[in-house]
Amino acid sequence: MSREFRKNITGRGASSNATNRYDSLKYEATEEDFDNYAEEQPLLRTEVLKDSSRSILSENKSPDIGFRFSINPYRGCEHGCAYCYARPTHEYLGYSAGLDFESKIFVKENAAELLHEALMKKSWQPEVINISGITDCYQPLERKMEITRSCLQVLAKFKNPVSMITKNHLILRDLDIFKEMAAYNGVLLFISVTSLDPELQRILEPRTSHPLARMKAIETLASAGIPVGVNVAPCIPGLTDHEMPAILKAASDAGARFAGYTPLRLPSSVLPIFEEWLEVHQPLKKQKVLNAVRDIRGGKLNDANFGSRMRGEGPRADHMAQMFQLYSKKYGLNKERLELSTANFQRPGDQLSFDL
C-alpha cells in the first residue's frame, strides 16, 4: 500500500510510505485521506517488533566494504535519515522503506546470547566485528533496550575487537566498556557527521544527535584514550559537500585521529524517498542537488557497481576526493593506520589466549 502524502511529519525523515517493490497491491491516497490521517495521528509513534533471527553475525561479501562480519541489533532505524541506504531492507519484511522503516523497529532481544554462542564455536577465528553495518546501533530505542551494550559486554568478555559507527552521542554511555577494550587495542569508533548546520540536520536526520553533541562525543572519547574518527557521510553534492572542510576541522579539533567519507547513494526505493524529501524541505534546491548527484554517478541518480558506488566518478567526484585528502592532511587526520588486535581473544574457560 502506498500513501503519497508529501507532507512534513514531525520527527520523521520520510513524508510517506513509499510503495513496497514486492507488493502487488498499490493504493494512491487522496488529500482527503491525508487530512483524515493528520487529524487522527498528529505524531507517528514508534512500534517495537520482535526479531526472531537465529543468528547475529552477518557476513559481508562486498569488496568495497572494510569489514567481513557485522552485528545489527535493530532492523529499521528511528533516526529517520531521509537518505539512508538501509531503507530498502524493510521491504523484505513486508513493510515500506518510507515511514515504516523509521517507525516499525525490529529488535533482536537475544542478540547477546546469539553472539556468545557464535564466539564459543571452535570454528570462529577471531577477527574484527563491526557494529552498525546497516542500521544505527545507538538509535533512540537503544537507551531503553541496551542490546548494543549487551553485545559489547560479550565482545569484551572474549576480548574480540570491534569497530563501530553512529550518529548518536548515546555512544558515551558505554565509555566504561570502550576503556576496557582500548587497553588491549580492541576498539575503533567513528562518529558520522553529515552537516554542522543544526537546522538542516533536524530535517534531514530528525532523530540523530545535534552536530555539537557529536563533536562532544568525539572529544570525550578521545580524552578517554579511545581511538575515534569522523565519517563525513553521506557527502551530498549540491547540499552538504561544501561542509567537508569544516567537518574535518571540527572533528580534528575535538580529538579525532581518523576520517573517511562516502558520497550520497540512492539505491532502489531510497531514491523516491530522497526526491520527496527534497520536494518537501528543499524545493528550490531539488534540481540542483539531483543534477549534482548525476555529475558523480555517470549521468544517473545511482551507481550500484562495486568500487565506484562508494566514491563516485567524474570531475566532481574527483574534486570531492581531492578535497578530502587535502583537508584530512591539513588537519592531521589519518596520519596513522590502526590495526586492531585479535591476539588477546580467549573463550571463557580457556587458560591460554590465541596468538593469531
Q: What percent of the chain has pLDDT over 70?
A: 90
- Is residue 3 one of the residues assigned to a domain? no
Q: What percent of the chain has pLDDT over 90?
A: 81
28: confidence class by pLDDT, cuts 50, 70, 90: low
Cell of residue 302, nine digits: 545511482
- Is residue 296 one of the residues assigned to a domain? yes
**What is the predicted pLDDT for the residue at 62?**
83
The gap between the terminal CA atoms of the chain, to the nearest Å, is 52
- Is residue 178 one of the residues assigned to a domain? yes
- Those residues with Cβ within 8 angstroms of residue 194's Cβ, 6 or more apart along the chain or in another chain: 81, 167, 201, 204, 205, 232, 233, 234, 235, 236, 240
- Is residue 338 one of the residues assigned to a domain? no
Given a cut of 80, is residue 19 above it in pLDDT?
A: no
- The Cβ of residue 176 has, within 10 Å, a number of other Cβ atoms equal to 12
- Is residue 1 one of the residues assigned to a domain? no
Instruction: Using alpha carbons, select from 153, 145, 144 the residue that is nearest to residue 174.
Output: 153
Distance CA 67, CA 57 (A): 12
Question: Residue 189 in contact with residue 227, Cβ under 8 Å?
Answer: yes
- Is residue 134 one of the residues assigned to a domain? yes
**What is the predicted pLDDT for the residue at 353?**
47
Q: State the Cα angle at 221 between 219 and 223, rounded to 5°.
A: 65
Given a cut of 60, is residue 32 above it in pLDDT?
A: no
Instruction: Compute CA distances 217 → 211, 224, 318, 350, whole Å.
Output: 10, 11, 31, 36
**In this structure, what CATH number is given to the domain that contains residue 64?**
3.80.30.30
Average pLDDT, the chain: 91
22 or 184: which leads in pLDDT: 184
Given a cut of 90, is residue 177 above it in pLDDT?
A: yes
- Is residue 2 one of the residues assigned to a domain? no
**What is the predicted pLDDT for the residue at 72?**
96
Given a cut of 60, is residue 18 above it in pLDDT?
A: yes
**What is the predicted pLDDT for the residue at 13?**
78
**What is the predicted pLDDT for the residue at 12?**
87
**What is the predicted pLDDT for the residue at 349?**
81
Do β-strands 129-131 and 69-71 pair in parallel, antiparallel, or remain unpaired? parallel
Total tally of structural domains belonging to the chain: 1
Question: Residue 316 in contact with residue 237, Cβ under 8 Å?
Answer: yes
Strand intervals (E) in 123-245: 129-131, 162-166, 187-193, 228-235
255: confidence class by pLDDT, cuts 50, 70, 90: very high
Strand intervals (E) in the chain: 47-50, 57-59, 69-71, 74-75, 104-107, 129-131, 162-166, 187-193, 228-235, 258-263
- Is residue 53 one of the residues assigned to a domain? yes
**What is the predicted pLDDT for the residue at 39?**
43
Given a cut of 80, is residue 1 above it in pLDDT?
A: no
Question: Residue 235 in contact with residue 274, Cβ under 8 Å?
Answer: no
Whether the bond between 234 and the residue before it is cis, its omega within 30 degrees of 0, is yes
**What is the predicted pLDDT for the residue at 42?**
54
- The Cβ of residue 246 has, within 10 Å, a number of other Cβ atoms equal to 15
Domain that holds residue 130: 46-330
